[in-house]
Chain A
Amino acid sequence: MTRRQLLRHSAWFGAAVVLTVAGGEVISQVADAQNPAPAVDDPTALRFVQISDSHLGFKGSANSAVEDSFAHAIKQVNALPYRPDFVAHTGDLTHLSTPAQFDQVKQMMSELKTGQVFTVPGEHDSIDDGGQKYRQTFGAGTQGDGWRSFDAGGVHFIALVNTVSLEKLGHLGPDQVEFVRKDVAGLSSDTPIVVFSHVPLFAMYPAWGWGTDDAVQVLSLLRRFASVTCLNGHVHQLFTKTEGNVTFHSATTTAYPLPKPGDGPAPKPLVLPAGKLGDALGIREVAYHKGSQALAIKDVRLA
């Protein structure tokens, strides 16, 4: 086994996704062990949607119409049999951080039929200005570089920014670690915690920047909680990993796929055979039923 194969093997080892195919549209599903039926069908549950990496403005053969794909994803959210409590976009809303791209993505997101929209920035949203244009567009109600926390349905949500400081990997910085320290200080340890970030908070593939160098400082503050779920984007593919009390779920993209970790020289947009792109893109439904240990997660491809 070569070093690269070993890295790939260990990166994938431990994945706990239950792969199911129902009606040809569900890509993966992680349900609460006590409630094998997906809680997204439960009207008393907290239900929200994660979308990620829409890259408005991307021009390339991996997807020649990312705006159409994003419009499709929004339509799919609006066609759900329930109205999600909120929609979270985990970054790379735009491809090149231009004012026109921010304007377009904001207008498109305003069509989402949901209680509220939350976002975190990706590195594509803060290319040349440290995230200033991003915060002008989406920063209302946030602190620092754009981080925030909120409560919904008995769950405590923390939306973190790990793409603004210039480091080799994702980086949170001491101000944000301090924010989390104060933010969770008064919470009882049985409060379920959900953390949003763009770059994964676990080392998915550091050679490609798929990790956050100071994530352990935040994760150690969350160690006392019974249930911690980290939802990220950035890697344009589904991936799940559990470390102790924390489960990480990388979401797929609405724009274009990237290679599996270490597959090829660089994380370049992947051009799929004709007709296969829709299989790689998708949205994620998440539900939490009070009293459950874990969240139910259902990844659905763009129909």
Chain B
Amino acid sequence: MRKLKYTKGIWVAAVAVVGLLGLSACSAPSAAPAASSQSTVDSGMTGMSMAPSGTAGQSTSAQAGAAATNSVAIKDFAFAPATVTVPVGTTVTWTNSDQDPHTVTATESGSPLRSPTMNNGATYKYTFTKAGRYDYLCTIHPFMTGTVVVTP
């Protein structure tokens, strides 16, 4: 039961990301933002705030009223939530709780969103200083995809 539900989740997320990638072809900013980033390894991290819902394909405005989620879990070979919407200046944190290594790497070349290899428990932080849509994937498992939408 649980497994089936999860599988369905993967399909939904995949469809949503394909849609976003399609959109990004005409709306993505090509300029790489001058953002600062840092990565740290902290296996003792607690209190990870999970996504308010797993509905990755919802319109981004629906999340505007909710508390902004700036944490992305990497679990069971998926980014959750697959899409986060944050205002400019937000630091987003990814935490890998899989035993397998993963990366957070921009699909667009030239973007500085690019983590080192993240082993189990590792976190990667990135501060978004420019509005736009940021698509990323894991270079080791490129079927794992996610998007950060940064609002002005």
Binding site for B on A (CB under 8 A): 2, 4, 60, 95-97, 123-124, 126-128, 166-169, 206-209, 262, 264-269
Contacts and interface: CB of A to CB of B under 8 A. Distances in A.
A2 B142 CA distance: 26
17 contacts: A123-B139, A124-B140, A126-B139, A127-B117, A127-B139, A128-B103, A128-B116, A128-B117, A128-B139, A166-B105, A168-B14, A168-B142, A206-B143, A265-B10, A267-B141, A268-B76, A269-B99
A207 B139 contact: no
Interface in B136-152: 137, 139-143, 145
Interface in B73-127: 76-78, 98-101, 103, 105, 107, 114, 116-117
A209 B100 CA distance: 16
Contact of A262 (B7, B76, B78): B7
A265 B117 contact: no
Given A266-B77, A268-B99, A169 B143 contact: yes
Interface residues of B, number: 27
Contacts of B100: 60, 268-269
Contacts of A96: 101, 117
A2 B4 contact: yes
A207 B11 contact: yes
A60 B99 CA distance: 8
Given A166-B107, A168-B142, A168-B145, A264 B3 contact: yes
Contacts of B137: 166, 168
A272 to B, nearest CB: 15
Contact of B143 (A60, A95, A208, A268): A208
Nearest to A2: B4
A262 to B, nearest CB: 7
A150 B4 CA distance: 46
A166 B4 CA distance: 28
Nearest to A165: B142
A270 to B, nearest CB: 12
Contacts of A166: 105, 107, 137, 139, 142
Nearest to A211: B143
Contacts of B139: 123, 126-128, 166
Contacts of B78: 266
Contact of A127 (B4, B7, B140, B145): B140
B76 A207 contact: no
Interface string B1-32: 00110110011001000000000000000000
Contacts of A126: 139
Nearest to B116: A128
Nearest to B5: A265
Given A4-B4, A128-B103, A166-B105, A209 B76 contact: no
A266 B117 CA distance: 19
A208 B144 CA distance: 9
A167 B117 contact: no
Contacts of A267: 77, 141
Residue of A97, A128, A268 most packed against chain B (CB within 10 A) = A128
A209 B142 contact: yes
A128 B140 CA distance: 9
A216 B100 CA distance: 31
A209 B143 contact: yes
A123 B77 CA distance: 15
